[in-house]
Chain A
Amino acid sequence: MAWNRKVLRIDLTNGSCTSEPLNMEWAQQYLGQRGLATKYFVSEVDPKVDPLSPANKLIMTTGPLTGTPASTGGRYSVVTKGALTGAIACSNSGGYFGAELKFAGWDMIIFEGKSPKPVYLSIENDKAELKCAAHLWGTTTWHTEETIKKTHQDPQVRVCSIGRAGENGVLYACIVNDLHRAAGRSGVGTVMGSKNLKAVAVRGTSGAANIKDPKAFMAATVAGKKVLAENAVTGQGLPTYGTQVLMNVINEMGALPTRNHRDVQFEEARKISAEAMAEKRPTDGKTHLVTNAACFGCTIACGRISRIDETHFSVVNKPEYWGASGGLEYEAAWALGAANGVGDLEALQYANLICNEDGFDPISFGATVGAAMELYELGILKASDIGMEAPFGSAQALCELARMTALGEGFGKELGIGSARLCEKHGKPELSMGVKKQEFPAYDSRGIQGMGLAYATSNRGACHLRGYTVASEVLGIPVKTDPLVTEGKAGLVKAFQDATAVFDSSGLCIFTSFAWSLADIQPQIDAACEGNWTMEKLGEVGERIWNMERQFNLAAGFTAKDDDLPPRLKTEPAKTGPAKGLVNGIDKMRPEYYAERGWDTNGVPTKDTLGRLGL
């Protein structure tokens, strides 16, 4: 067994902290983390629940390989009903928090109810108590983490927290751990804020000693690490350039959504790319990038640690931002940059720092700014509405709007509701670039067709981390497919979605899947976990998780109509690049996908499918 077999249940309403045994029968069916916590969630929560009501629950969960020497074995996830989407949400984060929770002896924490006043949860091994957070409320994630470490007189305590965005009801607030890692999407931080829960502080010294066959496990993890080290993406591309390795590649493909998806190529992409981060600045002769960094247990180390240009307008006289800090990763660089037509690398890093400091998702924030800029260019929003001129390309507007969103000031309050609600409010719902009210990430589905289907059918709204067919359509992993055609994409999307659900349930990082297939993680899981974990069983677990999430969303009121893309991607062809003249073929792919999944024409899993998966 690699599970601690212990669940910590926190009733925030009455302040109780209780330990209960992990449901081991479910662990065999759903593995851990995303799958297992979602099983708990759907068993305990009414799908129709208002995400911000006390009846919603929030689960922080580890996987069986979290806190082990398996490469990247440090992940944790937050499962809840998303504040932004109203769909099942599962946001995954690295850093060190997840491993520490495991070392403290817990598999997951279930938060329920709502605290009458701001609190934080303090865990020291098997001791758990809620503490007053009045002095932390109204402060940033950075301040919260630092203050808790000082108060506990323990620099080794690990903290996850919400910033002011999560307190102020920004619908895409995230939960930040270790200063710049985040459970980023769908508004999981908003749910945490609605419960008056400011932070979780964990110190664990018990370790993860309960591995089924430690010797076989060590051998399997060593073999796995070798595969990662020898792979071009995980062994060279990601450590050297980070995820930003993609900026120029995706732009060349004509799949870099630009100015709210009006364009598919950004003329200033190079200025905000990995290559630019490694060039010496004319102002101070230093590079933007300081070093790469790993999360717990990770032998890839894709993380970027950068230092902002002290002379940049955004941080003049603000020395608190001059130190080395996290960013830029590709998704944030795209959302804050190309999506708004902003080509100022330092401005993007400033906005990114604000997102980390006050805990909100740079993808949804950046894309919402993009939508607001389009509304401004159309004359629907005026400078007087926004509080400034906000044309596409304005770095000044981006920086100021980030600050205002963090604090809930002026137009920042409107940006905090996300692009879907903002565009709806101003009579232009079609200008919101997303699915299920969640904004697209950094791949235009006119140039990478499979991603259109992956977005449309993602259970947590538009997302690249539910079925990353970019791997196949762009990088040729595991096999190269043509990004410009719809043929074969239904099966490809299903395969990626099911495999991803297994990675997300194991404690490992999905980035390993550039080099690892299920065949690489199967021996690691099987050596660590009680039971017989065959390839067949893992494949079934992935598909079971996907269908369970689907069932929750259908019960929450979503229908096939929600498995769709905004009209722009279906009717306005790409203007330039290899995909010039193409729109996304979602209407052709969707029925193929439903058939592939064993769902009826309305996207509802058939009785046979559910029966086959034991649902």
Chain B
Amino acid sequence: MQKSLHIDANKCTGCLQCEMACSYENHGVFNIAKSRIKVFNFEHEGRKVPYTCTQCAEAWCLNACPVDAIRIDTATGAKVVNEATCVGCKVCTIACPFGTVNYVAETGKVQKCDLCGGDPACANACPTGAITYVDADWTGLDKMRAWAGKTDTSPRASA
């Protein structure tokens, strides 16, 4: 079963545990500036939204890369940057419609979410279930269940 990160922004409290976990998993440091997932805070609407790569099936970053530095991890379906090959041209950052591939000045390479090889640290760290790692074919399951629960199926007094 292929799995994917599923984000329910309504459950996000803005604690940034996901960003800390991401930076620790991928860089061995506690530094949200190095995180591949970002939480956006829309203060005046009271909304907080975690945002990261959705691992497009037809990945424009991968197609745009002139040196084939972005490959598909067949186990997880993640589009993974091979740092050794990446030349830091940033074309993928332009190609990505969502802005989730970013250049890292310190290394001269780009970075993006690689699903931590199938055990995403952000989902593990999220205290509210705003970020989960679920069956890629059924990311809508919880939403369906919630709406199904609202369906009034009680018998009518008069039909």
Contact = CB atoms under 8 A, between A and B. Distances in A.
Contact of B20 (A290, A297, A305): A297
Interface string B93-127: 00000000000000000000000000000000101
Interface string A194-209: 0000000000111111
B6 interface: no
Interface in A59-105: 67-69, 71, 96, 99, 103
Interface in A315-349: 323-325
A455 to B, nearest CB: 32
Interface in A287-313: 290-299, 301, 303, 305-307
Interface in B49-76: none
B136 interface: no
B15 A205 contact: no
Given A291-B46, A324-B44, A297 B16 contact: yes
B137 interface: no
Contact of A209 (B16, B28, B125, B128): B28
Interface in B1-58: 13-17, 20-21, 23-24, 28-34, 43-48
Contact of B13 (A211, A218, A292, A307): A292
A290 B15 contact: no
Contacts of B28: 209, 214
B33 A207 contact: yes
A229 interface: yes
A68 to B, nearest CB: 5
A69 B44 contact: no
Query: Number of contact residues on B: which range applies?
Result: 20 to 34
A103 B15 contact: no
Contact of A207 (B31, B43, B44, B45): B31
A71 B46 CA distance: 22
A240 B16 CA distance: 19
A67 B30 contact: yes
A324 B45 contact: yes
A293 B31 CA distance: 21
**Chain A: interface secondary structure?**
loop
Given A103-B33, A207-B34, A214-B28, A294 B44 contact: no
B15 A296 contact: yes
Given A305-B46, A323-B43, A324-B43, A208 B17 contact: no
Contact of A293 (B20, B29, B30, B48): B48
Interface in A185-229: 204-209, 211, 214, 218, 225, 229
A179 interface: yes
B106 to A, nearest CB: 9
A209 B29 contact: yes
A225 B46 contact: no
Contact of B30 (A68, A225, A229, A295): A68
A323 B45 contact: yes
B12 to A, nearest CB: 9
B10 to A, nearest CB: 8
B30 A299 contact: no
Given A69-B125, A298-B15, A299-B15, A307 B30 contact: no
A301 B33 contact: no
Contacts of A214: 24, 28
Interface string A36-68: 000000000000000000000000000000011
Contacts of A290: 46
A299 B31 contact: no
A325 B128 contact: no
Contacts of B127: 71, 225, 229, 299, 301
A315 B13 CA distance: 27
Contacts of A204: 33
Contacts of A323: 43-45
Given A214-B24, A229-B127, A294 B30 contact: no
A335 B140 CA distance: 45
Contacts of A218: 24
Contacts of B33: 103, 204-207
Given A209-B29, A211-B30, A323-B43, A294 B14 contact: yes
B129 to A, nearest CB: 11
Contacts of A179: 43
A225 B128 CA distance: 12
A245 B94 CA distance: 48
A209 B125 CA distance: 18
A208 B44 CA distance: 30
Nearest to A100: B32
A460 B159 CA distance: 70
B14 A69 contact: no
A389 B9 CA distance: 46
Contacts of B24: 69, 214, 218
A52 B65 CA distance: 60
Nearest to A323: B44
B87 to A, nearest CB: 23
A257 B143 CA distance: 45
A324 B46 contact: yes
A156 to B, nearest CB: 8
Contacts of A293: 13-14, 46, 48
A69 B17 contact: yes
Contacts of A295: 15
Given A294-B13, A294-B14, A297-B20, A209 B30 contact: yes
A103 B48 CA distance: 22
A207 B46 contact: no
Contacts of B31: 103, 205-209
A311 B44 CA distance: 18
Interface in A543-585: none
A207 B23 contact: yes
A96 B15 CA distance: 9
B128 A301 contact: yes
7 contacts: A96-B16, A103-B31, A207-B31, A229-B127, A294-B15, A301-B127, A324-B44
Given A209-B29, A299-B127, 11 more contacts: A207-B29, A290-B46, A293-B46, A294-B13, A294-B14, A298-B15, A299-B17, A301-B13, A301-B127, A323-B43, A323-B45
List of 3 A-B pairs having minimum Cβ-Cβ separation, nearest first: A207-B31, A324-B46, A323-B44
